[in-house]
Amino acid sequence: MKTLFLFLRRNMIPLLGMILGAIAGYFYWQNYGIYDGTFGFSSEWWANCIYGLLLGGLIGSLIRK
């Protein structure tokens, strides 16, 4: 249990970026993906959430010290 808390504390910024990226991906799908469903990432909600999760984790890991 101690190692889990240590992992979460050390990787808090990338994990927060992943959560915010997934939320942003869902909102992107809700506002734009439903209407413009010709592109593969825009037509499915889960694809946008995964794409946002990965992008948010990448940006969060770049910000981390």
Q: Tell me the pLDDT band of 65, cut-offs 50, 70 and 90.
A: low
For residues 33 and 27, the model is more confident at 27
Question: Of 52, 48, 56, whose CA–CA distance to 16 is shortest?
Answer: 56
Question: What is the Cα–Cα distance from 10 to 31, expressed in whole angstroms?
Answer: 34
In this prediction, residue 39 carries a pLDDT of 63
CA atoms within 13 A on the CB side of 4: 1
Question: What is the Cα–Cα distance from 36 to 17, expressed in whole angstroms?
Answer: 26
For residues 49 and 39, the model is more confident at 49
Structural domain boundaries of the chain? 11-63
Question: What is the Cα–Cα distance from 21 to 35, expressed in whole angstroms?
Answer: 21
